[in-house]
Amino acid sequence: MFKKIGIVVLLVSLILGMSTMMWAYKSEYRMTLNVGPTFYWGMGAKKFCDLVKEKTNGLINIKPYYGSSLLKGAQMTSLQMVSMGVIDCAYESTINSAPVIPQMNIFSLPFFINNFKNLDKMEYGETGKAIFKAMEKKGVIGLAWAENGFRQVTNSVREIKSPKDMKGLRLRVCPTPIFIDIFRKLGADPVNMNWGDAVTAFQQGTVDGQENPVGVLLPVKIYQYHKYVTFWNYLVDPVIVYWSKREWNAFPPDIQKAIREAAEESARFEKALCRAGLDGDENTPGSSLYILKHEFEYTMQHPDPVGFLKSKGMKVTFLTDEERQTFIEATKPVLQKWIPKVGRDLYEKALKDMGKE
Ligand code: X2X
């Protein structure tokens, strides 16, 4: 008798347990990102989806929606959609999150961060913590720091070595006000445009140039449209892996842990792709090429992005210290204007993280 009851209880709890498993998770979690699968950023996002599936034994299936297709190309609405729970998660640029979280503009302050070391100190320091806190307040949970990269300017008209070279150049910039402020101050004629429309604008020559990191310049074959590129690291574009807060909080801890680990691992891989060839060769321990080889057994198709752009006929310019100074001076008023907008507190945290106090 007791044995029978025991078996019935066991069966009922098994069925209940299985059905909760089936009901608790969606068949597909939707992820938004602004670029396509051939970009380093897109490759990192795909790796995240694969790792989540693997680490949750197939319970969580994320589908990446490339090119902001869930947003009809409106890249600046990504964070809002995830915070509302319309989209589950994102592998998205800080630039595209700025309309909801003005603190994200800290990375777009002109000539403020300048190199990978400073950036890492901020992301893994107090600045990064403060940004994740600000995200949580807006209904999303930050999981890991990935990257698009330091943005470089390209154009089809002339070499850029000083602000006067920018005079009158019509440049596509990201659809956000700080970019307009920077390029107007430099004497250019910037136009806000979604990335989804940008490549057509390059093809048709309706703009003379644009700015993006190597991880974007290579897959769009920018050398087909623009002859000149200036490496000036004027601002940086991190990518954050994040999830809708309400949904995140409902996940059991083991699922949260698995997703977080997947986010971190994919972000380490993705960052290395974006920095490969820009932070040392494959024999330099700690360099991105070294990490890709030894941690991920991955061989880059283009281990030397600068050399590759040259080989495609581009005139590649690196600024001297004096040349760089002319841009710093010219954009100082923009920096001053935007410090209060990102918050003086956060700005000071960033200075401290970078050891610039
Ligand atoms: O719009 C851009 O230039 C891009 C692809 O870099 C971002 O999404 C910020």
Q: How far is the CA of 5 from the centre of ligand 1 (A)?
A: 62
Q: How far is the CA of 353 from the centre of ligand 1 (A)?
A: 26
Q: How far is the CA of 132 from the centre of ligand 1 (A)?
A: 21
| Domain boundary, last residue among 273, 295, 317 | 295
User: Tens-digit pLDDT profile for the chain (357 aa)?
Assistant: 556 666 665 565 555 455 445 558 999 999 999 999 999 999 999 999 999 999 999 999 999 999 999 999 999 999 999 999 999 999 999 999 999 999 999 999 999 999 999 999 999 999 999 999 999 999 999 999 999 999 999 999 999 999 999 999 999 999 999 999 999 999 999 999 999 999 999 999 999 999 999 999 999 999 999 999 999 999 999 999 999 999 999 999 999 999 999 999 999 999 999 999 999 999 999 999 999 999 999 999 999 999 999 999 999 999 999 999 999 999 999 999 999 999 999 999 999 999 997
Got the DSSP string for 300-312? -S-S-HHHHHHHT
Q: Say yes or no: 286 and 309 in one domain.
A: no
Whether 96 is in the pocket of ligand 1, judged by its Cβ within 6 Å, is yes
Ligand 1 atom with the shortest distance to the CA of 175: 1
Q: Say yes or no: 87 and 209 in one domain.
A: no
Ligand 1 atom 8, closest CA: 34
Q: Say yes or no: 197 and 287 in one domain.
A: no
Q: Say yes or no: 228 and 137 in one domain.
A: no
Distances from the Cα of 259 to the Cα of 32, 57, 264, 292, angstroms: 16, 11, 9, 21
Burial class (CB in 10 A: 0-12, 13-18, 19+), 205: exposed
Contact 272, 149 (CB under 8 A): no
Three-state SS for 336? helix
90 falls within a domain: yes
Residue 20: the pLDDT is 44
Q: Which two tokens stand for residue 98?
A: 């700025």
Q: Say yes or no: 120 and 30 in one domain.
A: yes
Residue 11: the pLDDT is 60
Q: Say yes or no: 325 and 254 in one domain.
A: no
Please report, for the domain that includes residue 96, its CATH number: 3.40.190.170
**Strand arrangement, sheet containing 89-93:** 62-65, 29-32, 89-93, 236-244, 140-150
- What total number of domains does the chain contain? 2
CA–CA dist 27, 17 (Å, integer): 17
Contact 279, 116 (CB under 8 A): yes
With b meaning 16 or more CB within 10 Å and e meaning fewer, what string describes 121-152?
A: bbbeebbbebbbebbeeebbbbbbbbbbbbbb
Whether 95 is in the pocket of ligand 1, judged by its Cβ within 6 Å, is yes
Contact 32, 90 (CB under 8 A): yes
CA–CA dist 333, 71 (Å, integer): 34
329 falls within a domain: yes
Q: What is the pTM of this model?
A: 0.93
Domain containing 88 equals 26-149+237-295
Cα 63 → chain centroid: 18
Angle between helices 40-55 and 253-275 (to 10 degrees): 150
Q: Say yes or no: 244 and 176 in one domain.
A: no
**Start-to-end Cα distance in the chain:** 77
Q: Say yes or no: 158 and 143 in one domain.
A: no
Which mutation among 38, 65, 68, 148 tests ligand 1's pocket best, with the greatest number of atoms within 8 A of CB? 148
Tell me, what DSSP letter sits at residue 330? H
Three-state SS for 21? helix
144 falls within a domain: yes
Q: How far is the CA of 334 from the centre of ligand 1 (A)?
A: 21
Contact 326, 111 (CB under 8 A): no
214 falls within a domain: yes
Torsion 329-333-338-343 (CA) sign: positive
Q: Say yes or no: 117 and 249 in one domain.
A: yes
215 falls within a domain: yes
Q: Say yes or no: 145 and 170 in one domain.
A: no
Q: Say yes or no: 117 and 242 in one domain.
A: yes
7 falls within a domain: no
Ligand 1 atom 4, closest CA: 195
10 falls within a domain: no
8 falls within a domain: no
Q: Say yes or no: 118 and 138 in one domain.
A: yes
